[in-house]
Amino acid sequence: MRKILALLVLGLFVGFGLSQEYKEYFQGYYALGDSLTAGYQDGGLVDYYQKVSFPALLAKNAGVENFALPLISPPGIPPVLQLFVSPKGQVYVAPISSTYGVPENLYYRGIYNNLGVPGASSYDMLGTVSDGGFHNIILRGMGTQLQLGIAAHPKLITLWIGNNDVLGAVLHGKVIEGATITPVKEFQNNLTTIIGALVNYTNAKIVVINLPRADLIPFTTYIKPYIEVQGQKVYLIGPKGPLTDEDRVLLTAQEYLSQGYGIPTQLGGNGQPLPDGVILDAHERAVIEARINKFNSIISSLASQFNLPLLDINKLMQKASTEGIMVGGVRLTSRYLTGGIFSLDGVHPSTLGYALIANEVIKVMNENFNWDVPLIDISQYLWSSPRTPSGSRAASLAVKNMVRALTVKK
């Protein structure tokens, strides 16, 4: 009997130890990445969205009380977008203010736990300290993002970088090697250096996240390449003539469409083509898809080489764009405005989307580190938002502002 009781006590002790081990690691958790790590949402970075970034949600869920964030006061940098209704009943998206927010804790003495820098590419993580923008606010001249991540002596790291190595081609509708899209060899060298340094110069547990299909985000899928008239498709006019079902009209085309560009004269347009910068043609889409696949192959290979767990976020986002994801009896999709997963900028997740991502990270951690971190109750984000709406501006400025903020800096 005593042996049985001893074994039961030991089992309880071991089980408790395993269940609580993750808390120690989360006390030294640092997140490296770009806007998707920073918590960028609705076209801007602002404190109430930073607090629901996927790293912040992970830390809160693990009981971390002092997860340092480079907080930006409302209305954000740039001012976040909001849905408005015009006097004629038309719904449109615009910034909530014409003024910008300011850093709230720029003089924090330590290294921020969330080091994600909006606009950062793989090159930036290695080589950029100052850019006059988000790097200055988040890194504060103390070193590169990689250097700070190592200097923090982390116990746990999430690494999600590479989105901006291809996103520029999507945002500007142009594939320009070395400018809007990173060459394969350069990306491979950058990632090899980043992951190698984190493995060799820290003792942290590391989770690597791959890249979602940038050509499937609402920014590229919301506007159809045609206008349906009596059940027939009348295709919009692009720089090379009528568009096809394989072409994509970007969210930035709204301003031109409102002026009649791209719309045939018989439908009331001016008959002039949409500019190339608001169109992703079939060839450009193919190049972008192939590049993301190649980048993900590199990420997967490096994760395997260094024996690091990999979160396949690309698979999750493709599921969202096809069959959807069920949460609390609600089907969430990647549809713009109505799908629930993406925010108003059509590029970054909503709070609900970030919560989904956080849970996927938890699943990978539990499986690979033998932890039992509880999943986040996503239902709490189905019908609520952390933001407080205010203000109004012209809708055409909303998308312009977003693109300026997301431009890849090389």
Q: At a CB cut-off of 8 Å and minimum separation 6, what does 378 contact?
A: 327, 328, 352, 355, 356, 359
* DSSP bridge pairs for 368: none
Angle at which helix 164-172 crosses helix 282-305, to 10 degrees, equals: 170
Domain that holds residue 385: 20-213+288-406
The answer to whether position 187 is within a domain reads yes
188, pLDDT greater than 80: yes
Q: Are 89 and 388 in contact (CB under 8 A)?
A: no
Res 115: pLDDT = 98
Angle at which helix 54-61 crosses helix 351-369, to 10 degrees, equals: 60
Beta strands 156-160 and 91-95, pairing class:
unpaired
The answer to whether position 85 is within a domain reads yes
The answer to whether position 267 is within a domain reads no
Res 19: pLDDT = 59
402-to-94, 171, 219, 245 alpha-carbon distances in Å = 10, 9, 11, 26
The answer to whether position 244 is within a domain reads no
Task: Give the number of other CB atoms < 10 A from CB of residue 162.
Answer: 27
Res 399: pLDDT = 52
Q: What tens digit of pLDDT does each residue of 68-96 get?
A: 999 999 999 999 999 988 888 888 899 99
Q: What's the burial of 45, exposed, middle or buried (CB within 10 Å: 0-12/13-18/19+)?
A: buried
Domain count, the chain: 1
Q: What tens digit of pLDDT does each residue of 227-275 get?
A: 999 999 999 999 999 999 999 999 999 999 999 999 999 999 999 999 9
Q: Are 255 and 277 in contact (CB under 8 A)?
A: no
Res 91: pLDDT = 82
Res 387: pLDDT = 72
The answer to whether position 360 is within a domain reads yes
Q: What tens digit of pLDDT does each residue of 274-290 get?
A: 999 999 999 999 999 99
61, pLDDT greater than 60: yes
Q: What tens digit of pLDDT does each residue of 108-118 get?
A: 999 999 999 99
Which single residue is written with the structure tokens 């506007």? 223
Task: Give the number of other CB atoms < 10 A from CB of residue 408.
Answer: 23
Q: What percentage of the chain reaches a pLDDT higher than 90?
A: 83
Q: Letter for the amino acid at 158?
A: T
The answer to whether position 41 is within a domain reads yes
211, pLDDT greater than 90: yes
Which CATH number is 109's domain given? 3.40.50.1110
Short-list 113, 149, 117, CA closest to 133:
117
Mean pLDDT value across the chain: 91
DSSP 3-state assignment of 73? coil
* DSSP bridge pairs for 350: none
The answer to whether position 4 is within a domain reads no
Read off the pTM. 0.91
Q: Are 107 and 91 in contact (CB under 8 A)?
A: no
C-alpha span between 354 and 385 (Å, rounded): 12
The answer to whether position 48 is within a domain reads yes
